[in-house]
A and B are shown apart, each in its own frame.
Chain A
């Protein structure tokens, strides 16, 4: 094929796939630890907290990168409803990538719980200790985690739909690694 579809920039693709792995891992770690009472619980918690902070840093970098590297346009003939769905779902994904780690951090702050990343590495609280606030934040963290999981599943389904059925180059714009 001689023509080359527009692709996401290399930094954008790298960030996308790195964060895809981390976020999916995070969702599974989260749902697993929230159910577990075995020794896996403490192991998963000890991964969940630092990994959340890594994701927070990465999403800030990624957001800055997005401001400089515009994503390629969607296919011109993509129906309006799908276009809107694409924009809305990406917005949800971005917002949740910021909100989830911040919620986790503020929730532990409101609980008055030491936020140990590893060893004596500790984060300062970002909220005063307030139990009523904790209860709301803790619940929101769970609910939004499910929303994020659903958004990730829809993103996955839409990507495969573009790649397998529409075959319009949208999947390849992110998932192709061939040289230019």
Chain B
């Protein structure tokens, strides 16, 4: 190796101070451009873009700050049991859990509100989330809600509505003008609310029907892809909701469920609705015709409830994109948004663990069979 090969002065004579400054400027520009692109992709340059962080902030603005709790569906209870597949859905999906047999289930029943201590109302929107755990791989998670359609077509619309629903600082209530402006810009929201308003709420969790709302695709062993939605349809007979909570208790709807399960397991049929060409998979605000074929895939049985505190569901995100081979996302943009938001919510609440107060439904209340 010759000494001059790594000589820093090689050609230095050709670099004037001006040239050095220009070259330093060029280097700075390259780095700045890269940082700028990074910031753009990270959402820091566009304050309008609904990022995970902004959606969490909007939830907090609407519901208040509840460290350690889920940002949505905050008041809930863990439920365990099993899914007994009858094999009917195995024609459409190769997912292991649809083969005939029994699969353990870890579920969660909740009110959809983001307030963990909200007073139970029979007519309030409720959810059933399920995690199917077949042996080996092939886990499936789904969160279903007891409304017929989802009010938002896109994550943007969801975020805009959250922003419009933020309480105004001086009134403590959302600005009706903003709510009206949102509705005017989103006819699909108004149409969906119309359908949701017509629903006939049930008296509690056990006699409630929960719907996936979003469309997914079942993929068969032969590779045939079928658009589907699904529902959990109760075995327990339907009883219409009353306007006020039973016995006027803040946790009355949960207590009723606890008492029911203490007496007898509760069950739901997992009904798969098969979409036809023309049924929208990308827009969860649109119902599918009632005449669509529905396949009874088997029965979900819940035989044990536990408080979220120490319960088996508390650290589970019911991420709708945890799908086994045999179930795939459709072109519906909402599951991706739910997956992202749940992941962020999970990270937040796990970091806030130390500050979390006890959940509304305590282990003692579950043990005593639904008495405060």
Contacts and interface: CB of A to CB of B under 8 A. Distances in A.
A1 B337 CA distance: 57
A142 B322 CA distance: 22
Nearest to B94: A120
Interface in A18-47: 27-28, 31-43, 45
Contacts of B35: 153
B27 A169 contact: no
Interface string A107-122: 0000111101001101
A37 B341 contact: yes
Contacts of B7: 75, 77, 168
B309 interface: no
Interface string A149-180: 10001001100110011111110000000000
Contacts of A132: 350, 353
A5 interface: yes
Contacts of B27: 157, 160-161, 164-165
Interface string B35-72: 10110011100000111110100000000000000000
A38 B337 contact: yes
Contacts of A41: 336-337, 339-340
Contact of A42 (B12, B316, B335, B350): B335
Contact of B15 (A156, A161, A165): A165
A45 B50 CA distance: 18
B350 A135 contact: yes
Nearest to A31: B42
Interface residues of A, number: 52
Interface string B11-36: 11001000010011011101100110
B5 interface: yes
Interface string B236-266: 0000000000000000000000000000000
B347 A156 contact: no
Nearest to B11: A167
Contacts of A149: 38
B234 to A, nearest CB: 29
B279 interface: no
A27 B341 CA distance: 20
A165 B7 CA distance: 12
B217 to A, nearest CB: 13
B30 A156 contact: yes
Contact of A169 (B5, B55, B329): B5
A44 to B, nearest CB: 10
A120 B326 CA distance: 9
A49 interface: no
A42 B53 CA distance: 17
B4 interface: yes
Given A112-B316, A129-B315, A167-B11, A37 B347 contact: no
B190 interface: no
A139 interface: yes
27 contacts: A4-B5, A5-B5, A6-B1, A6-B5, A27-B38, A28-B41, A33-B340, A34-B42, A34-B52, A37-B155, A37-B336, A38-B333, A41-B337, A41-B340, A42-B336, A45-B321, A75-B7, A77-B6, A114-B139, A116-B137, A153-B34, A156-B31, A157-B31, A164-B27, A165-B20, A165-B24, A169-B6
Interface of B: 1-2, 4-8, 10-12, 15, 20, 23-24, 26-28, 30-31, 34-35, 37-38, 41-43, 49-53, 55, 137-139, 155, 159, 315-317, 319, 321-322, 324-325, 329, 331, 333, 335-337, 339-341, 346-347, 350-351, 353
